Amino acid sequence: MRRVIAQGTFDILHPGHVHYLSDAAAMGDELHVIVARAANVTHKPRPILSDQQRTDMVAALDVVDEAHLGHPDDIFVPIEEIAPDVIVLGYDQHHEEAAIESALAERGIDCEVARASPRDPSHDDELLSSGRIIDRIVERRC
């Protein structure tokens, strides 16, 4: 059985998230998703939705076998516990494959690192970013 990990913030689920997780699920037999804790999100604004709510939403998706809340201190702890064959990064995630591979090797974790394909917007007005969705809400409601 080929075990796959996908990870992300997943604040306000959108078609880009569904595409990423579907693409990741197609790379194996079992998809585990690690949802970042809000306290650990440092590369963009903190999530609007709570850790538990984001984890519950991801867990409800059919392509996801298990959703896990990330470790409070060490992002590699859940990876060690799940023991994946492949970690799939989102198409536009800020992570560098080589840096992830190096960190995994240092910890003795033997798995492949892949990147999901991009999703082509189905129409000109499709939003594939939680931040852009939030901006649109603020623009239209404030």
Percent of the chain with pLDDT over 90: 80
- 3-class DSSP assignment, residue 86: strand
Above 80 in pLDDT, residue 121?
A: no
CATH of 3-141, one of 2.30.29.30, 3.40.50.300, 3.40.50.620, 1.10.10.10: 3.40.50.620
Smallest CA-to-CA distance from 137 within 8, 51, 5, 14 is with: 14
28 is annotated as contributing to ligand binding: no
Q: Are 130 and 14 in contact (CB under 8 A)?
A: yes
17 is annotated as contributing to ligand binding: yes
Looking at residue 51, what is its pLDDT?
A: 97
Q: Are 44 and 141 in contact (CB under 8 A)?
A: no
Domain boundaries, the chain: 3-141
Instruction: Report d(CA 109, CA 25) in Å as an integer.
Output: 20
- Over the stretch 126-136, which tens digit does the pLDDT of each residue have? 888 888 899 99
92 is annotated as contributing to ligand binding: yes
Looking at residue 137, what is its pLDDT?
A: 92
- Compute CA 124 distance to the chain's CA centroid, rounded to the nearest angstrom: 24
- Residue 89's pLDDT band (cuts 50, 70, 90): very high
- Residue 120's pLDDT band (cuts 50, 70, 90): confident
The residue among 93 and 84 whose pLDDT is bigger is: 84
Output the CA–CA distances (angstroms, integers) from residue 5 to 59, 93, 131, 134, in the order listed.
Answer: 13, 14, 23, 27
- Over the stretch 7-45, which tens digit does the pLDDT of each residue have? 999 999 999 999 999 999 999 999 999 999 999 998 888
Per-residue buried b or exposed e for 98-126, using 16+ beta carbons within 10 Å of the residue's own CB: eebeeebeeeebebebebbeebeeeeeee
16 is annotated as contributing to ligand binding: yes
- Over the stretch 45-56, which tens digit does the pLDDT of each residue have? 899 999 999 999
- 3-class DSSP assignment, residue 28: coil
pTM of the model: 0.92
Instruction: Report d(CA 85, CA 33) in Å as an integer.
Output: 13
